[in-house]
Amino acid sequence: MAVDHGAAEHLSHTKITLAGLTFHQDTMIMSGLAIVGLFLFIFVTTRRLTAGVPGGAQNFMEVVVEFIENTVRENLPVNIPWITPLALTLFLYILFGNWLGEIPTLKSPTADINTTVALAIISFIILVFYSIKFKGIKGYSAEFLFHPFGKWLIPVNLFMKVVEEVAKPASLSLRLFGNMFAGEVMIILIAMLIPWYFNWSAGVVWLGWHLFVGIIQAFVFTILTVVYIAIAQQQMEEH
Amino acid sequence: MDPTTIIIAATAISIGIILGAAGLGSAIGWGLITSKALEGIARQPELRPQLLFNMFIFAGLMESFPFIVMAFALWFLFANPFLG
């Protein structure tokens, strides 16, 4: 079985350089495709809204919107009006991004570490903003310095709190990236290592699982963002 | 053997060990999660959709550790920081 080009070529990105910075052109194109596809899907679905028995697309969107609304409402103690649209956007963009990789010649934009880190940084900035807004700068710094050990162990508190805060965006981005990238790697391995008359069966199984994993990871990212904002709203317990 | 070969060989072995450990942790984790979910279903069969739904959510959360470890292994594989 001849492999004239290696698997590394499929896993690397086409890079373009603008103004001294390097961009992954294929990720940007795929991300644009996901956004345009998502927008068209939502646009067409809302043009055909019926109050009667809904069709497939409207049903799907109703399930998603209701689910995200309920999740946000249950998890946030203080309601912030734009968190539900944020959660919806995150969920739908990540979902469409993950599913775009299922189509044979396309790649998931979320399979690039840059995309997932960007999404995680957005979540982190929102999280820090609401921490400061709900607890005040004094309250937030007090959490860094005095939590959980008290004022004689400030370095330990600082270290633990910084690790905890940095672990949030780091784990969000790496979880999503790892899942999607592993999906890509497995598709390539199945194509490379199993003979052609057999690999369709393994491929179908793996792609089915990857569809499911895409939904789960989009949901986990969204719900973790919402839960982190809810944690940011909690007032610190007195010891 | 020049140093570069030794570094590349050591990296190859370490990637194998890292991925093996990640697979082991992931399998044990999934096993624990699913066995508890199955116990819950056996105790209360009418909660089966709820339990399965929650099982997949928490398994998705717990999968993050093997994937973070795998991201490190892939970093060593494609952009080896030990070389030069």
Whichever domain contains B70, its CATH number is: 1.20.20.10
Q: What is the pLDDT along chain A (239 residues), one digit of tens a residue?
A: 445 566 677 777 888 888 888 888 889 999 999 999 999 999 999 888 888 888 888 888 999 999 999 989 988 888 889 999 999 999 999 999 999 998 888 889 998 889 999 999 999 999 999 999 888 888 888 888 887 777 788 888 888 888 888 888 998 999 999 899 888 888 888 888 888 888 889 999 999 999 999 999 999 999 999 989 988 888 765 54
Is B83 among the domain residues? Answer: no
Is B84 among the domain residues? Answer: no
SS3 A89: helix
Q: Which two structure tokens, joined as six digits, stand for B48?
A: 């089966």
What is the pLDDT at residue A239?
45
Q: Is A179 a catalytic residue?
A: yes
Q: How many CB pairs under 8 A join A and B?
A: 42
What is the pLDDT at residue A1?
43
What is the pLDDT at residue B58?
86
Is B82 among the domain residues? Answer: no
Question: Nearest Cα to A65, choosing from A42, A43, A39, A44?
Answer: A42
Bridge-partner residues for A91, per DSSP? none
In the predicted structure, residue B74 carries a pLDDT above the cut 90: no
Q: What distance in Å separates the CA atoms of residue A31 and residue A207, rounded to the nearest whole number?
A: 20
Is B39 among the domain residues? Answer: yes
Pairing of strands A15-18, A21-24: antiparallel
Q: Which two structure tokens, joined as six digits, stand for B36?
A: 């508890």
Question: Nearest Cα to A38, choosing from A100, A86, A81, A84?
Answer: A100
SS3 A24: strand
| Global pTM value | 0.85
- What's the number of domains chain B is made of? 1
Model confidence at B8, pLDDT cuts 50, 70, 90, reads: very high
User: How many CB atoms are located within 10 Å of the residue A144 CB?
Assistant: 16
Are A13 and A27 a contacting pair, CB within 8 Å?
A: yes
Are A124 and A61 a contacting pair, CB within 8 Å?
A: no
Question: Over pLDDT 90: what percentage of chain B?
Answer: 50
Assess: ipTM above 0.90: no
What is the DSSP-derived secondary structure letter of residue A197? T
Q: Please name the member of A8, A12, A174 whose beta carbon is closest to the beta carbon of B71.
A: A174
Helix runs in chain A, H state only = 7-11, 25-47, 56-75, 83-100, 113-146, 154-193, 199-233
Interchain proximity A220–B60, CB inside 8 Å: yes
Instruction: Supply the range of the domain harboring residue B23.
Output: 3-77
Residues on chain A touching B67 (C-beta within 8 angstroms): 174-175, 177-179, 182
What is the pLDDT at residue A12?
78
Residue A18: its H or E element: strand A15-18
